[in-house]
Amino acid sequence: MVIRQMRKAQSSLIIVTPQTYSNLLEAIQPRNLRLTRLDDEIYNHLNQEFPELIENPDKIKVLDEDWMKSRDGKERWRKFIATSVFTYFRGRFGL
C-alpha cells in the first residue's frame, strides 16, 4: 500500500516537473534567460564562430540540416561544441 502511494507521488512529480520548467521557459524572453553564469561567454563564442546565425535569427529557429551536415558545418560545430563543453565543465567543476 505504501509503495503504491510512493509510486503515485513519484509519477505525479514526473509529470509536474517538466510542466513547471516549460512554463518558466515560456514566461522568460530568450534574450533574458540565463541558465548558467557562463551563458554570456558561450553566447559570445557562438557569435564569434557563427556570426551568420546571430545576424539572421531566422537561421537559428530552423537550422539548415544540409549545411550542418556539410564538411565545413560539421567541423565548425565540433569545434564550437568541444570548446563550449569544456568552458561549461571548467566553470561548473572548477577545472
Domain boundaries, given as residue ranges, for the chain: 1-33, 34-95
- pLDDT confidence of 71, banded at 50, 70, 90? very high
C-alpha cell at 20: 513547471
Percent of the chain, pLDDT > 90? Answer: 6
Is residue 29 pLDDT above 70, yes or no?
yes
Per-residue confidence (pLDDT) for residue 12, from 0 to 100: 65
Q: Is the pLDDT assigned to residue 94 strictly greater than 70?
A: no
Residue type at 66 in one-letter notation: D
Higher pLDDT, 54 or 72: 72
Distance CA 8, CA 23 (A): 23
Nearest to 85 by CA among 40, 44, 38, 47: 38
Q: What is the pLDDT of residue 13?
A: 61
pLDDT value for 16: 62
The Cα 69–Cα 75 span in angstroms is 9
Mean pLDDT in residue range 81-93: 71
